[in-house]
Chain A
């Protein structure tokens, strides 16, 4: 696997249901980010994992959103009781080190539609 892999690529769910979005980062990358993008606009920061440090959760919009990263690799973003305003593209990115010298490698995103 050469790049960051996200699944599913598309998810349609009913309002009130829970969803899980998965991110497989590039092997060996210690940093992992989740962003949300609405209608081709800028990226909204959600959460950042770096190695074994406590994640930076400062961007999560509500307590319905949570994320975990198991074994320093795969990450899952969970949205509980989805709302229509949660509809967006959720992008995951990984990086081999600290951001200042390390570019982010993005997956192609999961397009979430809440009906």
Chain B
């Protein structure tokens, strides 16, 4: 069974602070996606990483896929209240198209 553990589970910070969310597994994934979910809505895709060691930037968000393709991180610089939400990583294993989601990190950014 492929499991994706995210840490921390909860994060509460002040506007302007930096933060990093981790997504770890003992399994290897062919690709990994990050989503953000707001209350009452479905998750929305932020980024897909495919290559081991890949780094992608989306404005103040930096995503990294581990060299061994077992882990990923999301770094937010100068967090804004609009970044508040539930962040979910999701991985696709080999020989499957099934997307498995992580345990989630709930971020609260206070003004």
Contacts and interface: CB of A to CB of B under 8 A. Distances in A.
Contacts, number: 66
Interface stretch (A34-42, A62-70, A72-80): A34-42
A100 B101 CA distance: 14
B97 A45 contact: no
Interface stretch (B36-44, B56-64, B75-83): B36-44
Nearest to A41: B104
A104 B41 CA distance: 14
Most buried by B among A4, A35, A98, A107: A35
A41 to B, nearest CB: 5
Given A31-B97, A48-B97, A42 B102 contact: yes
Interface in A1-48: 4, 31, 33, 35, 40-45, 48
A92 to B, nearest CB: 8
B40 A108 contact: yes
A40 B97 contact: no
Given A106-B42, A106-B43, A100 B104 contact: no
Nearest to B33: A103
B28 to A, nearest CB: 14
Given A99-B98, A104-B33, 13 more contacts: A33-B99, A41-B103, A42-B104, A44-B101, A45-B101, A48-B98, A56-B98, A99-B97, A99-B99, A103-B45, A104-B43, A104-B45, A109-B41
